[in-house]
């Protein structure tokens, strides 16, 4: 396992980050219903991940009913005594509980969410505390000031954001700089060979400002594992197969061409489509760590190969070309004028 700095921060994290979305079997009220693993299996996956060198774990308060993922992870940290070996990340923002303040990023709610996560995780600090999505109903300076207070109190070590528009992220960084507040060190966002929209604005911004990218859904919901075939319906036991409308998002000629290229590279390097897809992301300079989920140890093992695979420059170029996408205006105009885009 290789380790990289968490954006511009000094702490080092594994190049693969184990996502906790599937920790615990959620009930029918949760959006994670039927896609999680029981606590014993989740703990076994965590054990194997740690043994493989993964020291970075990401979860969120909203994963599972009533913070189920955080509770399962907290039980593991205590049972195994592994807290000081893990860089622990969680998120807040979406709906938890009842009442008028059950969601959002106000000072009132951030303080409560942090205390609740600390209790569920059974720890005295969160290493990376992330806002799960920008909140346009709350001034960004209120959110940042509350997060800065948590850093000053020692309850949070670093802060990050997820699912932010580029303009909002730039404004946030400016506010932090001019007020001497803690600033975001990472951006967690959807990024894969299928979804490359970040390359328009976010990646240049993160490169300039020193933020590390934490891609989520690096295998495009399982599409890039290579277990799907063009013109054939997906198996019902696959996550994409369980919801035909989700599979329809990926069922396009462009995406099948991407998968063809991934399979060709995988065959050439003697690896798997999943490992190649992860390795492509890890070859991107601004990527700090790639977040992946695993319901079983077998799924974990399949993804671990991506951390060890180093693609040649020509393989990265093949995949870049196969997954090229329309930049739109003004990006195409700029690209056609400046070759260094």
The 10s digit of each residue's pLDDT in 133-144 is 999 999 999 999
pLDDT at 87: 98
pLDDT at 242: 59
Q: What is the pTM of this model?
A: 0.95
Residue 31 confidence (pLDDT) above 90? no
Residue 94 DSSP SS3? coil
pLDDT at 30: 52
Residue 25 main-chain phi, psi, to 5 deg: -85, 105
Average of per-residue pLDDT across 90-97: 96
Average of per-residue pLDDT across 115-129: 98
pLDDT at 160: 98
Residue 136: how many CB atoms within 10 A of its CB? 10
Residue 245: how many CB atoms within 10 A of its CB? 7
CB 135 within 8 Å of CB 105: yes
- Which residue range is the domain that position 98 belongs to? 3-337
Residue 32 confidence (pLDDT) above 60? no
Catalytic, out of 63, 129, 164, 250: 63
Instruction: Please tell me the total count of domains within the chain.
Output: 1
CB 212 within 8 Å of CB 287: yes
The C-alpha atoms of residue 17 and residue 119 are separated, in whole angstroms, by 22
Per the document, the length of the chain is 341
CATH number, domain containing residue 275? 3.20.20.100
* Among the ranges given (32-36, 68-72, 269-273, 328-332), the one the predictor scored with the smallest mean pLDDT: 32-36
The 10s digit of each residue's pLDDT in 290-312 is 999 999 999 999 999 999 999 99
pLDDT at 36: 86
Mean pLDDT value across the chain:
94
Longest CA–CA span in the chain (Å) reads 58
Decide if 63 is catalytic: yes
């Amino acid at each position: 396992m290789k380790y990289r700095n968490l954006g511009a921060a000094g702490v080092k994290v594994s190049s693969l980050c184990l996502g906790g979305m599937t920790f615990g079997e959620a009930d029918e009220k949760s959006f994670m219903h039927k896609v999680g693993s029981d606590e014993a299996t989740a703990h076994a996956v965590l054990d194997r991940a740690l043994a493989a060198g993964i020291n970075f774990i990401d979860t969120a308060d909203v994963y599972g009913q009533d913070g189920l993922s955080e509770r399962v992870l907290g039980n593991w940290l205590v049972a195994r005594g592994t807290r000081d070996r893990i860089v622990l990340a969680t998120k807040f923002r979406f709906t938890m509980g009842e009442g008028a303040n059950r969601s959002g990023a106000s000072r009132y709610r951030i303080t409560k969410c942090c205390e609740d996560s600390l209790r569920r995780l059974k720890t005295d600090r969160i290493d990376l505390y992330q806002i799960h999505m920008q909140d346009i109903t709350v001034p960004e300076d209120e959110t940042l000031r509350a997060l800065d207070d948590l850093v000053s109190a020692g309850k949070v070590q670093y802060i990050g954001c997820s699912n932010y528009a580029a303009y909002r992220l730039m404004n946030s960084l400016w506010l932090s700089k001019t007020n001497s507040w803690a600033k975001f060190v990472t951006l967690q966002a959807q990024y894969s060979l299928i979804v490359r929209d970040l390359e328009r604005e976010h990646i240049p911004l993160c490169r300039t400002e020193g933020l590390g990218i934490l891609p989520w859904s690096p295998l495009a919901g399982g599409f890039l594992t290579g277990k799907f075939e063009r013109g054939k319906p997906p198996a019902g036991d696959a996550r994409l197969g369980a919801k035909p409308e989700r599979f329809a998002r990926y069922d396009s000629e462009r995406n099948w061409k991407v998968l063809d290229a991934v399979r060709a590279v995988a065959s050439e390097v003697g690896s798997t489509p999943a490992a190649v897809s992860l390795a492509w992301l890890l070859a991107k300079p601004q990527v700090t760590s790639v977040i992946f989920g695993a319901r079983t140890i077998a799924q974990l093992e399949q993804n671990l190969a991506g951390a060890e695979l180093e693609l040649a420059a020509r393989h990265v170029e093949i995949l870049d070309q196969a997954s090229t996408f329309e930049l739109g205006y003004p990006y195409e105009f700029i690209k056609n004028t400046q070759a260094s885009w």
